[in-house]
Amino acid sequence: MATLPHVHGGNLRAAAEQYGIAISDLIDFSANINPLGPSTKALEAIRNSLDRVAHYPDPDCLELRRALSEYIRLPLENIIMGNGAVELIFILMHVLKPQAVLIPAPTFGEYEAAAISAGCQIKSLPLNREENFLLNVDQVVNTLKNVDAVFICNPNNPTGQLTGRAELEYIIREARKKNVWVIVDEAFIDFLAEKTLYSVMDLVKRYENLFILYSLTKFHALPGLRLGAGLGNRSLVSKMMSHKDPWNVNVLAQIAGVASLKDEKYMQDTVNMVQKEKLYLYEQLKKIAGLHPYPPSANYVFVDVSKTGRTSTEITEMMGKKGILVRDCSSYKNLGCGYIRVAVRKRDDNNMLLQALPETVNL
């Protein structure tokens, strides 16, 4: 069976070897992780629970699901936890077994990888530069008759473009008429100050054909522990539970997740900090000749570098030699070699990026 390569940012080991720079000396803008790092309460909970690694984790993730249930206000039976949201994408495809899947392009590559692993036919929906990579809702609806499932990343990765809640519900409603699944990835939704305008998480209770992918990796800065969730109707969640590894979420990830979800100050501080720094980074990037950044919605900025005279791969490699990692977006379908993505980090790091980029693109 054909498979796709897994290409992502944040591979510090590979970057350290490629550029001959110690991991501790790299500044990573290639992975979209909370710049504040993990909650101090989560780290404290881990330190206080190290002896728990001698025991199996709870296969039902009950305490973690209770904490998430309270935070997102959905019943326990609608929640499944995963070893990152990516695990759940693969489980979902093997449970639903759709014949054909509609996937916008560019978007997160693991949707297609998971669908292909389940033997699905891929129908791509190009997001066009001329339309600022916005999702064409009518085009999605018109294509529903030819597919069994559709993936929508909101905000989209890597472009950062948003689809409004009303538009998403329209797609979900039309898809229900045709027995089509709608999978909405809200991995970055918590970074939005006004997420209620875009999230459809609560609609899981109303639409049986809706499944939400939710990440604790990005917002809660736990990529090394791997932690994600899926939200769907009871029947689907139950089937997915029976298909997963019994102990798919390790004990420290469960403990950290519970503590972080209860740290309200940490979550509010994150939203405030990202809101401030993403606007600063965007405004400063606009001043660099040859760069065209797109207005950011979450904790990353999508940048058109096609007018610099250098490819995204060249810029990525040149920045890497300076110890600054950015995401080369040439691996995303329908983008080519004219775009990079940079994460929002703390001000000092952002300034180092802003100093290095002009030196790189305007040599």
Over residues 222-252, the pLDDT tens digits come to 999 999 999 999 999 999 999 999 999 999 9
Confidence of residue 326 (pLDDT cuts 50, 70, 90): very high
Is the model's pLDDT at 361 over the cut of 90? no
The confidence score (pLDDT) of residue 15 equals 87
- At residue 32, what is the residue type? N
The confidence score (pLDDT) of residue 1 equals 46
Confidence of residue 9 (pLDDT cuts 50, 70, 90): low
Up-side HSE of residue 76: CA atoms within 13 Å toward CB? 8
Residue 124 phi, psi dihedral angles, 5° rounding: -85, 140
Is the model's pLDDT at 125 over the cut of 90? yes
What confidence tens digit (pLDDT) does each residue in 195-231 have? 999 999 999 999 999 999 999 999 999 999 999 999 9
- At residue 9, what is the residue type? G
The confidence score (pLDDT) of residue 362 equals 77
What confidence tens digit (pLDDT) does each residue in 261-282 have? 999 999 999 999 999 999 999 9
Enter the DSSP assignment of 55.
S
The pairing of strands 27-28 and 79-82 is unpaired
Domains recognised in the chain with CATH numbers: 12-30+265-361 (3.90.1150.10), 40-263 (3.40.640.10)
Mean predicted confidence (pLDDT) in 65-87: 98
